[in-house]
Amino acid sequence: MRIITNALFNIETLEMIEGDLPQRARKMVMEWASMYQKDLMEMWEKQEFQKLPPLK
């Protein structure tokens, strides 16, 4: 069985705005987002989206 969860994060603060993620997944998202926060902000401001590397 696979459980699908969704969440919405604030790019500036990395705070989870809404959703329900397991604690481990939430930490992984925050770690990844902190690594690419500048890139995420730039993409959002320009509305030019590109794929970013996964968390290793």
Name the burial class of residue 51, with classes exposed (0-12), middle (13-18) and buried (19+) by CB atoms within 10 angstroms of its CB: exposed
Domain count, the chain: 1
- Does residue 1 lie in a domain region? no
Q: Report if residue 11 sits inside a domain.
A: yes
Mean pLDDT, range 25-49, rounded to an integer: 96
Amino acid at 18: E
Output the pLDDT for position 50. 96
> Which residue segment(s) compose the domain that 11 sits in?
7-46
CA gap 3, 37 in Å, rounded: 27
Is residue 18 a part of any domain in this protein? yes
- Would you say residue 56 lies in a domain? no
Q: Chain-wide mean pLDDT for the chain?
A: 93
Q: Check residue 37 and give its pLDDT.
A: 97
Tell me what pLDDT residue 2 has: 76
> In whole angstroms, what is the distance from residue 26 CA to residue 47 CA?
25
